[in-house]
A and B are shown apart, each in its own frame.
Chain A
Amino acid sequence: MDFILIQALNGLAGASSLFLVAAGLSLIFGVSRVVNFAHGTVFMVGAYVAWTLIDRLGVNFWLAAPLAACATALLGALIEVGILRRLYAGHELLPLLATFGLVLVAHDVVPLVWGAQDIIGPRAPGLTGAVEILGRRLPSYDLFLICLGPVVLGAMWLVLNRTRFGRIVRAATEDREMAAALGIRQDLLFTAVFMLGCALAGLGGALQLPRETLHHSLDTQVIVSAFVVVVIGGMGSLTGAFVAAAIVAEVSAFGIVVWPQGTLAMLFLIMAAVLVVRPHGLFGRAAQQEPHRPLALPSPPAAGYPRRAALAAAGVAAALLAFGFLGSPFALDLATQALIAVPFAMGLHLLIGWAGAISFGHAAFLGLGAYGAALAFTAGLPLAPAMTAGVLLAGVAGGAFGALVRRMRGVYLAMLTLAFSQLLFAAAFQWVGLTGGDNGILGLWPEPPLDTPMGWYLLTLALVALWLAAVARLYRAPFGFILRAAQDAEARARADALPVDGARVLAFAIAGAGAGLSGALLAFLKGSAFPTLFDIPQSIDGLVMVLLGGIGHPLGPLAGAAAYSLGVAVVSTLTPHWHMVVGGVILLLACAAPGGLLTPKRAGGAR
């Protein structure tokens, strides 16, 4: 009993800094509809800055924490004014892409500045002791944190409800058009809110110092939990963030004890359950008349896409071919991997660009394709049926998932896809009997003549070309037009009896099958399948490829997949700091060519 109580209090202490991060994320999203992927990074920077102040400059902890918050607020201003402001008029995913670029840059810069070793945080002066509760000791700092959460919630409630700034923020959260019509300086408001959100995250990071070891990969851990909190609580709701932070922290606190490896999966399961019952989170409300941000789709495609796009795509294809025949094993492997990424990116592109469904978890289908093919192959099936099994498994799973979420949109759908992929990730880890767990499935070597790199390259080339041709045809068929019509005017499309839901489900199935094809090809290229195929970085790679290539053009993913795969491979041989370079390039592209590589600039972000 007392153990349960202590563990519960422990969880609540963790909830406070989680609440700070999530509240900032939620606030920013509520006002500017920006999903700040770098929010975990800001949290981490806040912690590092506080540590520097304390450890190097001898500043008192209680002064260092607010100073760190100020520093991250400034960092926020820099990000908002320098980068995000250029992107608001474009596709809603652009800020996400740009902030992901920031995460990549920070991934290399933070260890360069603060070192790669773990840092044990300083203790909080005055609260180094512990209090005795039911015969067990609870650090008094934890008690302080437990009290801090409600205090911050109360303070923010006062700011939001009793100040002019707060009224403006709430007005903008509830009805952006109205706020704009009232003559509120939107640019100032967005900057201020972004700074506030970053200050909260920095404060959360600094306050977590005495409790947690500081290391340079804290950012991803924090951002994933914060996303889960915000989605469970409801985007834009502070109370929701508070309650959800408590839930998440408690589940983590007890999960660590009961089932350590399954904690994350459990959190995602809770999130999925909440979203199915309440699609806008526990305390969220349906956004009023989301202003529609039209995609930069070229129009009309029947009259032909811009010639230079086709030329660019042809150039990419030629480069991939040439790479394969350069005779260098490295180039051959590179070309094969770049080709394999194409169907994966194409499926994601179909979902994002055409079906209007943002997915953060497309890796789910990559993994299903790989594991489906691998399991069928190890069960004794020949290569072709085994690969077909993988593709079918991923396609059917995609269709089933699509049928479940066909009415969902936006960030909530994105989080549900993330949850789905994380559940499969956990399953691949835990279901050792079937998947081999951590060890993966090994020994996936095809028969001659496909057992050579060149053999597999040629097979990949053929299959990917077939897939590309088939899917490109779909874009010109009514199927593609129905998806676009539904994005332009969904109520109109339904009143015209267009089979909107059916087309969306089919889009998920096709996207799943494409990712499955990539997964199956990848498994036999590597000779193995590992749980990491289901993991978040794979999904993010796909997103970056799609956005790099441009969402407005069916051949965008071809260019994006090739550019990203080759770029990462080349840069990573040149410098160990390739994350930084790739992140920088992503930032640059997001700002300079928001429509992606294959969309003419004038169409990018056009209204």
Chain B
Amino acid sequence: MTAHLSVRDLRKSYGGMPVLSEVGFDIPQGEIAALIGPNGAGKSTLFSILGGALSADGGSVLLDGAAILGLAPEAVAKRGVGRTFQTSAPYRSLSVIENLLTIAAGGAGFWARLARPLAAWPRQPALAALSEVGLAEMADSPARALSYGDAKRLELAMALARGPALLLMDEPTAGMAPSERAAFMDMVRERSRARGMTVLFTEHDMATVFGFATRILVLDRGRLIADDAPEAIRGDALVRRAYLGSAPVPPTKPL
């Protein structure tokens, strides 16, 4: 089986300062992979490049064998990539359900986008998507009134709205309570299993990483220093020194 996402020799520097150097990895279809590394390792930069928001200095990114590096974020999204951001950002001036309706309507034809009121768009699919993340009751409240965790959940629903084949999540559970984290990642895992969706996420919370990732990539100062199964990563001396040394590594949670 060819890899779903294939990254080769990716490089990026800011004003001469290398942020990513020769990063390369393959992620097969349906895998849940975690990208970990200390603050400033380049994780968000890598995600921005994969999502098309940032240009790379060199390298290649293949999605199902097709090059996506250099495409605009809109084009990358249309190839089946969904994203959540490190600082979560739903459309704050809209209501919760309008956040999803707008995404659904954004894909409609030119005239429909101009003439048909958003309120006339079918609510049912949007409501279903909201109840999947536990927000159905909030459908008509303004998104700016959501709590931190709820905003993250809404953003997950938004990233899933277009049925992505690859989901990129930048620190999806940061700032959540431990129980919230597990519930959130359970939703993601369920979706991944049901649809064969590939997931790549960054996370500082090791319980979440070792509890849900089937594969861990370790980035340190722009270099990929390890890429292996969780068990192997746990024993990797290099990784310990670079990163894990500072935080106790929890035992793997039974799946």
- A: residues with CB less than 8 A from B are 294-295, 297, 299-300, 302-303, 473-474, 476-482, 484-485, 487-489, 491-500, 506
Contacts and interface: CB of A to CB of B under 8 A. Distances in A.
A562 B151 CA distance: 40
B91 A493 contact: yes
Listed residue (A494, A497, A506) with the most chain B CB atoms within 10 angstroms of its CB: A497
17 contacts: A300-B95, A302-B117, A473-B115, A476-B117, A476-B119, A477-B114, A478-B106, A478-B113, A478-B116, A478-B121, A488-B91, A493-B91, A495-B51, A495-B85, A496-B102, A496-B162, A497-B77
Contacts of A303: 95, 140
Given A473-B117, A478-B114, A482-B113, 19 more contacts: A299-B142, A300-B140, A300-B142, A302-B117, A302-B119, A474-B114, A479-B114, A481-B101, A482-B102, A485-B91, A491-B85, A494-B53, A496-B102, A497-B77, A498-B74, A498-B102, A498-B103, A499-B113, A506-B114
Contacts of A495: 51, 53, 73, 76-77, 82-83, 85, 159
Contact of A492 (B90, B114, B118): B90
Contacts of B92: 294, 488-489
Interface string B112-154: 1111111101000000000000000000101110000000000
B143 to A, nearest CB: 8
A489 B89 contact: yes
B72 A484 contact: no
B116 A477 contact: yes
Contact of A488 (B82, B83, B94): B94
Contact of B98 (A294, A481, A487): A481
A208 B143 CA distance: 54
Contacts of A498: 74, 102-103, 106
B94 A300 contact: yes
B93 A294 contact: yes
Nearest to B121: A478
Nearest to B162: A497
A294 B155 CA distance: 19
B90 A489 contact: yes
Interface of B: 51-53, 72-74, 76-78, 82-83, 85, 89-95, 98-99, 101-103, 105-108, 112-119, 121, 140, 142-144, 155, 158-159, 161-162
Nearest to A474: B114
A494 B106 contact: no
A499 B158 CA distance: 16
Contacts of A491: 53, 73, 85, 89
A295 B119 CA distance: 22
A492 B77 contact: no
A477 B116 CA distance: 5
Given A477-B116, A492-B158, A497-B77, A297 B106 contact: no
Contacts of B93: 294-295, 297, 299, 484, 487-488
Nearest to B95: A300
A297 B94 CA distance: 9
Contacts of B155: 492
A495 B77 CA distance: 6
A299 B102 CA distance: 14
Given A477-B115, A481-B118, A485-B102, A494 B94 contact: no
A482 B83 contact: no
Contact of B77 (A297, A477, A494, A506): A494
Given A302-B118, A494-B53, A494-B77, A477 B91 contact: no
A302 B119 CA distance: 6
B165 to A, nearest CB: 14
Nearest to A488: B91
B88 to A, nearest CB: 9
Given A300-B94, A473-B117, A495-B51, A478 B73 contact: no
B89 A478 contact: no
Given A482-B106, A495-B73, A497-B78, A489 B140 contact: no
A487 B93 CA distance: 9
A481 B85 contact: no
Contact of B161 (A477, A482, A496): A496
A302 B73 contact: no
A509 to B, nearest CB: 12
A576 B254 CA distance: 84
Contacts of B82: 495
Contacts of B85: 491-492, 495
Contacts of B161: 496
